[in-house]
Structure 1
Amino acid sequence: MKLIMVMLVAASVGAIVVAVRKVLSGPRLTGGSAYLQALRLGGPLIGLLGAAWNLMMSNLAIANVGQQPPYHVLAPGVAEAAFLFVLGLIAGVIAVICNWVVEARIDRAVLRP
């Protein structure tokens, strides 16, 4: 789960770097739009997948214990799942905003009179 968290944060930073490089590239159009579009769609899904996996593993652990553990034992797993989901949403939102910036840059470059 920690790896998925690090990957989502790195992907968000990567989206910002791609958008900045694309905006600063001048009149020429460079790559990077496919990465932003993939992150825009995949970021929330990866976060949701990580959260679902984490909750499933927590429920399996609870089932194997036999008795219901107290809430203070369950809370870290639930918090980690919620954090994974939020990181996925943040990565998606950052990618959407960066994609809007890049698309506006492309439109200005292509539609320039």
Structure 2
Amino acid sequence: MGLRFRRRIRLAKGVYVNLSKSGSSLSIGGHGATVNIGKHGVRETVGLPGTGLSYSHTIGAGQYQGQAAGAPVQPRQGSGGRPLLTLLGLVALVIVVTGFVSALTH
């Protein structure tokens, strides 16, 4: 088991600095939608609070394939995520499942 260190410092409502052994990052947002800016790029996360369902997508530096120095940078195929559409799909799925379970129990 390895030693871990994580610390989250609140700067303002919805704005946090995250510190760990591997570096630091800045988080902006709250329950339901967060943007995290760190050394691996920008990660946006949307979710349905209280359900455990979320979708996360890396944009920025994490979006490019590793290539030899001097080679042109090409984005990964299929990297244009659509978190809002995914969140709406998750909401629809939760509504359908909730209705189905409710119909079975009555």
Could you say which TM-score interval applies, normalised by the shorter chain? 0.3 to 0.5
Structure with the higher fraction of residues in strand conformation: 2
Structure with the higher fraction of residues in helix conformation: 1
Larger RCO (CA under 8 A, 6+ residues apart): 1
Structure having the higher Rg: 1
